[in-house]
Amino acid sequence: MKILVPVKRVLDYNVKARVKADGSGMDLANVKMAMNPFDEIAVEEAVRLKEAGIATEVVAVSCGAAVCAETLRAAMAIGADRGILVDCGELSDAELQPLAVAKLLKALCDTEAPQLVICGKQAIDDDANQTGQMLAALMGWPQAPFASKLSLDGKLATVTREIDGGLETLEMTLPAVVTTDLRLNEPRYATLPNIMKAKKKPLETVKPTDLRVDVAPRLAILKVAEPSKRSAGVLVPDVATLVDKLKNEAKVI
Amino acid sequence: MAVLVIAEHDNQSIKTATLNAVTAAQAVGADIHVLVTGSGCSIAAQAAAAIGAVAKVLVCDAAQYEAQTAENVAELVRALAADYSHVFAAATSAGKNMLPRVAALLDVAQISDIVAVESADTFVRPIYAGNALATVKSTERVKVVTVRTAAFDPAPLGGSAPIEAVPAAKDLGLTRVVGRELTKSERPELGAAKIIVSGGRGLGNGENYRTLLEPLADKLGAALGASRAAVDAGFVPNDYQVGQTGKIVAPQVYIAIGISGAIQHLAGMKDSRLIVAINKDPEAPIFQVADYGLVADLFAAVPELTASL
């Protein structure tokens, strides 16, 4: 069974995001980039399924600038077998939008015919939380977003999902799209030998035109602004003062 | 053309999150229709008709919608969407699951998690864990939008809109719900609570979380929340998580106890009216957003706080 795992290159989660002074977007010059954390969980899950003898091949896909090849190498260092870079040229991260990515992934699913696609539930840059569900729609496949547990038995997938009130367990026939939540697994650190090995794994580059997908943005970002900052509060010396302030100053209790 | 709001319900009542979405939809400046989909959902449809701002309720009552699976509901919304300029849903786990599927079926972009409506085609949404606000314009023929519930007040009741039955779409039979394990609690829902008591790694374990935070929450009539660290460590179930990828809340009062305040956590609560932080580390980033900070050992301070309320 083949598993396809889309991975996105995003601002490292430890780096504070900054808005460009002219309000045209985010300042991503000379900042540390990394694989979207939810996508790391997706790669880890796919690799574990391969190690368990359930999956036979794990294919990582990244859509974006040529530099996304680094993200594919990172996925291969975790254990993905090969990578496909969909080189979107000069299109910025904000211009390459979820519907276009879902269409690129659909085109790859049509040729690669994976039985399972595991996506991160959302990218921590645009926080859109759309691509996996959109891909499932375009393929006419079942979807299981926000998975905290995944088990496969032949053509049947059983997925436990994190929902607002607790947990929900779904059963579906493969092929399907699953998106990862935080508790699905804890991704491993890539070891140096595996990082070296990843450099020799096959990486194919295709263009959106090869896949006959129009990736032009559908949404125009008119401006990006910093949210208003909270004014600094006060430190109180003890519980009695805190209670007094809550009662008499803020009047909330 | 009107705005279609997809209701969330439990067959008996409409979830507050839908009322928040209706308020956002009102800002578009068109008639609002609410879709109630389920099996045996006529009472919920009546509850939707009682929302003041609603002009019409569409109800689709069929066995295949009992579990309200995203695949089947999206198929139905696809069929209805031709008559609407906008499709709105709350950005809850159900809305986030279903609505992107609708958007892709309609071949339109979705705008996720809006916090403001600038005009009928322009919306504001947070990106980068709320560190930036993007103003986004859509020229799609149908604007498919999820609404951050904490950013809009619930729409008031007091209407009696007509209810119209709509035929079911094809049953796709793609997924089957085999179990739901819902956290039982007498406390208010996180998303709708006026006061939230939230705990982090500093509590040490789940027993401390319960023995220290539950009595405080009981006294305040508060909901209970948690940081990702506390959920990952197994102190509390996943649905307690407040943060960028958990629940986004904006209560009147948010009391953060033993939470250091990673940016991902702040993204979920920094729009709270008043933030109180109790933490023994004076350098904890939570103090940069707290209105009232108390640098103290929570194991002494929390029982004292509970006792003095």
pLDDT tens profile B2-32: 999 999 999 999 999 999 999 999 999 999 9
Q: Can you name the residues that pair with B58 across neighbouring β-strands?
A: B35, B164
Q: Would you tell me which residues 18-47 of chain A have a C-beta closer than 8 angstroms to some C-beta of chain B?
A: 18-19, 26, 38
Is residue B20 within 8 Å of residue B153, measured between CB atoms?
yes
Is residue B85 included in any domain, yes or no?
A: yes
Task: Determine, for residues A236 and B294 on separate chains, whether the beta-carbon distance falls below 8 Å.
Answer: yes
Specify the residue for token string 């790859």. Answer: A108
Q: Whole domain around residue B120: which residue ranges?
A: 2-165
Q: Which residues of B touch A153 (CB under 8 A)?
A: none
- Residues B149 and B197 occupy one common structural domain: no
Task: Determine, for residues A163 and B290 on separate chains, whether the beta-carbon distance falls below 8 Å.
Answer: no
Q: Can you name the residues that pair with A234 across neighbouring β-strands?
A: B292
Q: What is the pLDDT of residues B257-300, one digit of tens each?
A: 999 999 999 999 999 999 999 999 999 999 999 999 999 999 99
Cα nearest neighbour of B127 on chain A: A126
Give the distance from residue A82's alpha carbon to the nearest chain B alpha carbon, in angstroms. Answer: 28
Cα nearest neighbour of B285 on chain A: A232
Instruction: Beginning with the edge strand found earlier in the chain, give each strand of the sheet holding B116-119 in spatial order.
Output: A219-225, B132-138, B122-127, B116-119
> Which residue pairs, CB below 8 angstroms and at least 24 apart, start in A24-32?
A24/A223, A24/A224, A25/A92, A25/A94, A25/A221, A25/A224, A26/A94, A26/A125, A26/A224, A26/B127, A26/B128, A26/B132, A28/A93
Rg (CA), chain A: 21
Give the distance from residue A243's alpha carbon to the nearest chain B alpha carbon, in angstroms. Answer: 7
Task: Determine, for residues B276 and A222 on separate chains, whether the beta-carbon distance falls below 8 Å.
Answer: no
- Residues B244 and B97 occupy one common structural domain: no
Is residue B247 within 8 Å of residue B267, measured between CB atoms?
no
- Residues B8 and B112 occupy one common structural domain: yes
Is residue B32 included in any domain, yes or no?
A: yes
- Residues B223 and B261 occupy one common structural domain: yes
Q: Can you name the residues that pair with B60 across neighbouring β-strands?
A: B37
Is residue A100 within 8 Å of residue B67, measured between CB atoms?
no
- Residues B18 and B160 occupy one common structural domain: yes
Write down the pLDDT at residue B192: 86
Task: Determine, for residues B274 and A250 on separate chains, whether the beta-carbon distance falls below 8 Å.
Answer: yes
Task: Determine, for residues B101 and A98 on separate chains, whether the beta-carbon distance falls below 8 Å.
Answer: no
Write down the pLDDT at residue A33: 97
Alpha-carbon gap, residue B56 to B38, rounded angstroms: 17
Q: Which residues of A touch B288 (CB under 8 A)?
A: 230, 232
Number of domains chain B contains: 2
Q: Would you tell me which residues 77-116 of chain A have a C-beta closer than 8 angstroms to some C-beta of chain B?
A: 97-99, 102
Is residue B175 included in any domain, yes or no?
A: no
Cα distances (angstroms) measured from residue A189 to each of A40, A56, A76, A78, A84: 10, 22, 12, 7, 22
Q: Which residues of A touch B243 (CB under 8 A)?
A: none
ipTM at complex level: 0.95
Q: Which residues of B touch A141 (CB under 8 A)?
A: 174
pLDDT of residue B133 exceeding 90: yes
Is residue B179 included in any domain, yes or no?
A: no
Cα nearest neighbour of A163 on chain B: B93
Write down the pLDDT at residue B245: 86
- Residues B141 and B6 occupy one common structural domain: yes
Alpha-carbon gap, residue B77 to B88, rounded angstroms: 11
Is residue B78 included in any domain, yes or no?
A: yes
Q: What is the pLDDT of residues B34-90, one digit of tens each?
A: 999 999 999 999 999 999 999 999 999 999 999 999 999 999 999 999 999 999 999
Task: Determine, for residues B101 and A236 on separate chains, whether the beta-carbon distance falls below 8 Å.
Answer: no
Write down the pLDDT at residue B191: 86
Write down the pLDDT at residue A109: 98
Length of chain A: 253
- Residues B26 and B138 occupy one common structural domain: yes
Angle CA(B3)–CA(B110)–CA(A150) in degrees, nearest 5? 120
Q: What is the pLDDT of residues B178-199, one digit of tens each?
A: 999 998 888 998 988 999 999 9
pLDDT of residue B309 exceeding 80: yes
Is residue B151 included in any domain, yes or no?
A: yes
CATH code, domain carrying B277: 3.40.50.1220
- Residues B254 and B106 occupy one common structural domain: no
Q: Which of A128, A167, A225 has the CB atom closest to B133's CB atom?
A: A225
Cβ-Cβ contacts under 8 Å for A24 (sequence gap 6 or more): A223, A224
Domains of chain A and any CATH numbers: 2-249 (3.40.50.620)
Task: Determine, for residues B228 and A218 on separate chains, whether the beta-carbon distance falls below 8 Å.
Answer: no
CATH code, domain carrying B70: 3.40.50.620
Share of chain B above pLDDT 90, in %: 97
Residue A139 parent element (H or E):
helix A131-139
pLDDT, averaged across chain B: 96
Is residue B185 included in any domain, yes or no?
A: no
- Residues B75 and B152 occupy one common structural domain: yes
pTM of this structure: 0.95
Q: Which residues of A touch B247 (CB under 8 A)?
A: 164
Write down the pLDDT at residue A223: 97
Is residue B94 included in any domain, yes or no?
A: yes
- Residues B127 and B220 occupy one common structural domain: no
Ordered per-residue pLDDT tens for chain A, 253 residues: 999 999 999 999 999 999 999 999 999 999 999 999 999 999 999 999 999 999 999 999 999 999 999 999 999 999 999 999 999 998 998 999 999 999 999 999 999 999 999 999 999 999 999 999 999 999 999 999 999 999 999 999 999 999 998 999 999 999 999 999 999 999 999 999 999 999 999 999 999 999 999 999 999 999 999 998 887 799 999 999 999 999 999 999 8
**Chain B within 8 Å of A223 (Cβ-Cβ)?**
yes
State the pairing for strand pair B223-226/A203-206: unpaired
- Residues B142 and B232 occupy one common structural domain: no
Residue type, A131: T
- Residues B19 and B120 occupy one common structural domain: yes
Q: What tokens does B234 get?
A: 């197994």
